[in-house]
């Protein structure tokens, strides 16, 4: 069955360091992958989308990579700030499935001041 894995343990880093979050998937061939941020008691907020034919995408302090051979995406936050503390979700989608997304369970990031 389709499976998306994100590290369930919280990632705890010092302010200013680079945070790297991992999303691995099996039994799936996504056309694109998205990363969302979710704060407690709130809905997810879209951050970045990367397509299967793209290796890397950047947006300000954020960078996403997508390796369809390894079936993995890495999400980086450079110069991290305490305000970056949240849960980050990856989601996979296929262009033939009416825009449906399959979400990972998320990784909680804690940035210490």
Partner 1 sequence: GAVVSQHPSRVICKSGTSVKIECRSLDFQATTMFWYRQFPKQSLMLMATSNEGSKATYEQGVEKDKFLINHASLTLSTLTVTSAHPEDSSFYICSAEVMGYSNQPQHFGDGTRLSIL
> In the window 60-79, what residues touch partner 1 (CB under 8 A)?
none
The tally of CA atoms less than 13 A away on the side-chain side of residue 18 is: 9
Contact status: 27 vs partner 1 (CB under 8 A): no
Q: Work out how close the CB of 102 gets to partner 1 at its nearest, in angstroms, rounded to a whole number.
A: 8
Which of 100, 112 has the CB closer to partner 1?
100
The reply to whether 51 sits near partner 1 by the rule CB under 8 A is: yes
Dist CA 1 CA 3 (whole Å): 6
| Contact pick of 16, 45, 78, 85 for partner 1 (by CB under 8 A) | 45
Q: Is 100 one of the binding residues for partner 1 (CB under 8 A)? A: yes
Half-sphere exposure at residue 84, Cβ-oriented, CA atoms within 13 angstroms: 27
Going from the C-alpha of 35 to that of each of 10, 90, 93, 113, the distances in angstroms are: 17, 5, 11, 24
Residues touching partner 1, count (CB under 8 A): 26
């Amino acid at each position: 069955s389709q499976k998306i894995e994100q590290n369930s343990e919280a990632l705890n880093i010092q302010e200013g360091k680079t945070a790297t979050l991992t999303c691995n998937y099996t039994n799936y061939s996504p056309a694109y992958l998205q990363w969302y941020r979710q704060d407690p008691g709130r809905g997810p907020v879209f951050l970045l989308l990367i397509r299967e034919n793209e290796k890397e995408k950047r947006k300000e302090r954020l960078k996403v990579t997508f390796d369809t051979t390894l079936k993995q995406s890495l999400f980086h936050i450079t110069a991290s700030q305490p305000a970056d503390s949240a849960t980050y979700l990856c989601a996979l989608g296929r262009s033939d499935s009416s825009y449906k997304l399959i979400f990972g369970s998320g990784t909680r990031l804690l940035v210490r001041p």
